[in-house]
Structure 1
Amino acid sequence: MDDTVVIVTTVLALPELAGIVRGADTDRLDLAPQAAGLLAISLGLSRLFPDDRELLVRGFVIYDALYAWLLHAKGERHSWNPQRVPAQA
């Protein structure tokens, strides 16, 4: 049963990842909210690593992290409130 859940979750995340990548790759940033961020990171990586092989090695970490977020952390929310006054010690 657990293996089935993992496979189904993995398969369901792939189309969403594809939409993010497609949006970033085709300048269709409206396809996914994350597309603009992926495009910015990809352009930055291309400036940091002019060697294609090095760029691929480093870039795959970004795609793996995005995929892991889709599988395990998509529901997490940012809870830091910059307006909050620190508690007095």
Structure 2
Amino acid sequence: MAFAQLALRMLLDEHAGMLSPDGAPRIDALPLHSAQVHQATGMVSAQLGVSARDALASLRARAFAEQRTLSNLAAAVVAREVRFAPFKEPT
């Protein structure tokens, strides 16, 4: 399970442009260095009613699913062009 989580994280990081071509993390691309990603994380946290950690995971997952960079999706969330809705179980 740990290896699967690591592989998924690396795949998401690579897709989000957070890894350099040699596979090393790009310090300038880490979400911790982006005010817009922080702001979007807070907005998604409020929209979904989840922790900041889960909100960031949701942002990253959606960016991957939509083949967008994390910063691009964060900008759209902050501009209120993209909204997250809580998942509802089918009845």
* TM-score bracket relative to the smaller structure: 0.3 to 0.5
**Structure that is richer in helix per residue:** 1
TM-score when scaled to structure 2? 0.34
- Structure number with greater CO (CA < 8 Å, separation at least 6) is 2
TM-score when scaled to structure 1? 0.34
Structure whose alpha-carbon radius of gyration is higher: 1
